[in-house]
Each structure stands twice: as C-alpha cells, then as structure tokens.
Amino acid sequence: MYPVTTETTDHPGGYQGALDDFYAACAIRLAEHLDAGRDVVVLCEGDPMFYGSYMHMHKRLAHRYETEVVPGVTSVSGAAAVLGRPLVERDETLTVLPGTLPAETLAAHIGSADSVAILKLGRTFEKVRDAFVAAGKLDDAWYVERATAAGERIAPLADVDPASVPYFSLALLPSPVNDPAVVPVRTVPASGMGEVAVVGLGPAGRPWLTPEAWDALMTADELVGYGPYLDRVPVNPRQKRHATDNRVEAERAAHALELALSGSRVAVVSSGDPGVFAMASAVLEVSCEARFAGVPVRVVPGLTAAHAVAARVGAPLGHDYCVLSLSDQLKPWDVVADRISAAARADLVLAIYNPASRTRTWQVAAARDLLLEHRSPDTPVIIGRSVGTPGEDVRVTTLADLDPADVDMRCLLIIGSSTTRIVPREQGNVVFTPRRYPA
C-alpha cells in the first residue's frame, strides 16, 4: 500500500524521501520471503520496466536473487490499439514523456516530435494540454483513459474536462503520416453503465473453473450470489460481496442489474453452469424489464454437475441424453412425471438435477417407479454426491436397487438407457453408453 497519493508529505526528505523509505521497507519484506525459500511474484500494471514501480525492487534485489521479469503491454501500446491509429511509421520517432516535466519542456518536445505519448496525467493534465496548445498540436492530440480495461474512455484532448482525468490516462499524438479521414478513430464516451456477468463456478474447486470465469470474478467490482457459492470465491478487499438466500433468485438478479445500472461490474456467481437450472435465466428474465434495457448481460459457462458426475464413472452420457429437474417448486409434478415417462419411452439417458431436498423427499421413489415402467430393473444408476469436494461420494447401483434414502439435495442422478453398460475393472466399475445404437 503506497504511503502517499499526491506529491505532498510530512516526511523530512519530502515526497522522494517518503518513497525511498517505502521502497527500502518493501525490499526488506520481499527479501525475508526470498531468504525463507519462497518464490515471490510482484504484480504490475502495463510493463514492469516502463515507468513501473517494480523497477525500484529490481534495483535493490535482482543482484541478490534469481530474478525473471515478464514483460507486459505498455499503456502506450494499448492506447494506440484502442485508438486505432499507428504510433510511428517508417523513419518516424516516438517520444514518451512524463506529464510531471515543466510545461516549456513538454511544449519543446511536442513541437519537434513526430509522435508523442505523455503519461502521468491526473493533476498534470491542464499543464499538458497547455503544452499542446503552445506547440500548435492540440487539434491533433487524443486522450485515452484506462486503455483496454473496463471504464475505457477515448476523446479528443481538447474536449476533456480536467476535473474528470484520473492518473491512469495518457495524451497521445499519433503518427502524422495517416489521414484521419482514412484511419477511423473509435471514440468511446464515458459511461455510467456497468455490466452483469453470470459466472459458472463449476461443481466445486479451482481446477474446474474456466480461465474466462476466473477473469470475470477477478475483474468484477461486486459479487452477488448464494452465500455458500460466494464463499468459494477468494476474498478480494477491493470487491463488495452481496450474499443472499438460495430462494430469492429474481431479487438477486434485480439487485445485480441495479448495481450495474449505477456503473459497477457485477459478477453473479452460480454453481455448475449458470445456464443449466441456475442463475442465467433468472438474470436474463429480469433484464427484460424496461429499466434494465441498456444493461449488458453476458453468460460465462461452467462445468455442469452432470458432466462432472459422468466423468467420475466413465461416459454414461456418451449417447443421447435428457437433462431435467425433479423439483416441482417452479413447475407442477404432473409436468415432471410426463417428462420422465417421455424420456424413458425414448430410451434416453437421464441426468436428474435437484432430486431431493429437506422438504421434498418422495419424488425420487416416484421417479424410480415411473422409469421402471419402461426400463429394465438392472438399468445402471449413478448417484453423485458433492462431486469435486472433500465430501465427494459416487456410487453405482441399479434402478431396482435405487434407495431414495441415499439421495439428498447435494446429489445428482444419472439413469442409464437400455444400452448403458457397467463393466468391472481393477480400479472399479466403469459405466458408459456406447455411441452406436442397435439397429
């Protein structure tokens, strides 16, 4: 945590003295970890060696410890990319300047350079803009804020309100070779609108979390979800977390959309895949309300519980299969029963979500009896409980031997088809459904 945010301090050595002491203390802290045999990662925005704070650690530690610097994309490169204008061509030169230089020095460089990037704006913005005016280049200059990141903003430098300029912004004078009428500029206005990402965590555990889902979780400003699911996401002090009960999906969706409407990047967490009996449909349904018409909603897929359970025993979903929920909370039991019978008659493998809960204890037996009207008693059945967690338990049984007492709200059932096979192996039974169907 940096000790100062402006160039004023009570330190006897002034701003530079305060920073020198800060970097020295940081180097001692890192050295203690390194001396203990630990690897240390220092995270940096942009490139570590391009106006980056890491270089102060590098100068103090790299001669004492094995060091690797992983280069990054600089803000200058990012700004040129989102602006859609080349920085330099052929024999042109690029001049990179800190906005902290004196105004006359900035103006002299701007006036003589082909292409210019000026960093460290924030409080220096008015001085930098005046330097472009003095050099006669203001009309050709662009402002880029938070390039390639959420909240990105692009505008002509002359149109920017100094009070709105954060530190993570820069002024750019692109290559003069290009005709602006030919090379389009993508102008991105400042917007108060955030977004909602509905994120699938998978059944459990980081190994089953996709890189896209991890990125959505880590870049969100606020997390919304059922408490136990939120607990699976590492705590980030930068983020706000909004835990709710599992039975208020519409309210949870509306809350997330309202947060996005006020400018937040919101991740709605969901177990498994958010589009399979989970939060995606609830969020999209509420987003159809007129007040949320402009809020972007994206669905980030996750590994489903059905696929996780199937993988534990082999490939029972290797042929056509049906996915249904045994819950009658949101649809009548008659509809559930009709769909079970239809899938059984069609000889589809069934993956059954929500087979039981504390208040629903009879549906498993009812479903078993319906299936036995069309399926052999020795049809393979897989009971997967809490797959991917330390309490994981996966059992292979048959339809006739399926005991409802063995099934609870943490379970998923897979009921085989007429072709699904159980094959004994040294490491245990393997269950699979052949891809070929009998003629």
Say yes or no: 205 and 294 in one domain.
yes
Let me know if residue 187 belongs to a domain.
no
| CA torsion, ordered 400, 385, 271, 331, to nearest 10 deg | 30
Q: Which of 243, 275, 303 is the last residue of a domain?
A: 303
Note down pLDDT in tens along the chain; length 439 residues. 776 556 567 788 887 888 889 999 999 999 999 999 999 999 988 999 999 889 999 999 999 999 999 999 999 999 998 888 888 988 899 999 999 999 999 999 999 999 999 999 988 999 999 999 999 999 999 999 988 887 788 889 999 999 889 888 999 999 876 544 444 444 444 445 789 999 999 988 788 899 999 999 988 999 999 998 999 898 877 789 999 887 788 999 999 999 998 888 999 999 999 999 999 999 999 999 999 988 999 999 999 999 999 999 999 999 999 999 998 888 899 999 999 999 999 999 999 999 988 778 799 999 999 999 999 999 999 999 999 888 899 999 999 999 999 998 889 999 999 999 999 888 788 999 999 888 7
Of all residues in the chain, the percent with pLDDT exceeding 70 is: 95
Say yes or no: 296 and 312 in one domain.
no
Structural domain of 249: 195-303
Per-residue pLDDT, 115: 94
Q: Give the separation between CA 345 and CA 337, rounded to whole angstroms.
A: 12
Per-residue pLDDT, 6: 60
372-439-348 Cα angle (round to 5): 35
Say yes or no: 333 and 407 in one domain.
yes
* Spatial CB neighbours of 359, under 8 Å, sequence gap ≥ 6: none
Question: What are the angstrom distances between the C-alpha of 217 and each of 46, 208, 221, 222, 239?
Answer: 20, 14, 9, 9, 10
Say yes or no: 330 and 420 in one domain.
yes
Say yes or no: 34 and 132 in one domain.
no
Q: Which of 277, 303, 329 is the last residue of a domain?
A: 303
Per-residue pLDDT, 176: 76
Let me know if residue 189 belongs to a domain.
no
Say yes or no: 38 and 86 in one domain.
no
147, 184 Cβ separation under 8 angstroms: no
Per-residue pLDDT, 7: 59
Domain count, the chain: 4
Per-residue pLDDT, 187: 43
Task: Please give the biggest Cα pair distance in the chain.
Answer: 89
279: nearest Cα among 268, 289, 288: 268
pLDDT single digits (tens) 321-366? 999 999 888 889 999 999 999 999 999 999 999 998 877 879 999 9
Let me know if residue 183 belongs to a domain.
no
- Pairing between β-strand 430-432 and β-strand 421-423 as defined by DSSP bridges: antiparallel
Per-residue pLDDT, 112: 92
- Pairing between β-strand 142-145 and β-strand 169-173 as defined by DSSP bridges: antiparallel
Q: Give the separation between CA 289 and CA 279, rounded to whole angstroms.
A: 17
- Amino acid identity, residue 379? T
Say yes or no: 79 and 12 in one domain.
no
Q: Give the separation between CA 345 and CA 343, rounded to whole angstroms.
A: 5
Say yes or no: 62 and 135 in one domain.
no
Let me know if residue 250 belongs to a domain.
yes
CATH of the domain at 59: 3.40.1010.10
Q: Which of 278, 303, 328 is the last residue of a domain?
A: 303
Say yes or no: 283 and 355 in one domain.
no
Let me know if residue 199 belongs to a domain.
yes
78: nearest Cα among 90, 66, 87, 70: 87
Q: Say how far residue 125 (Cα) sits from the centre of its chain.
A: 33
Cα radius of gyration rounded to whole Å, the chain? 30
Phi, psi of 268 (to 5 degrees): -95, 115
CATH of the domain at 106: 3.30.950.10
83, 170 Cβ separation under 8 angstroms: no
Let me know if residue 30 belongs to a domain.
yes
Let me know if residue 6 belongs to a domain.
yes
Q: Which residues pair with 299 in a beta bridge?
A: 198
Say yes or no: 57 and 105 in one domain.
no
Say yes or no: 87 and 40 in one domain.
no
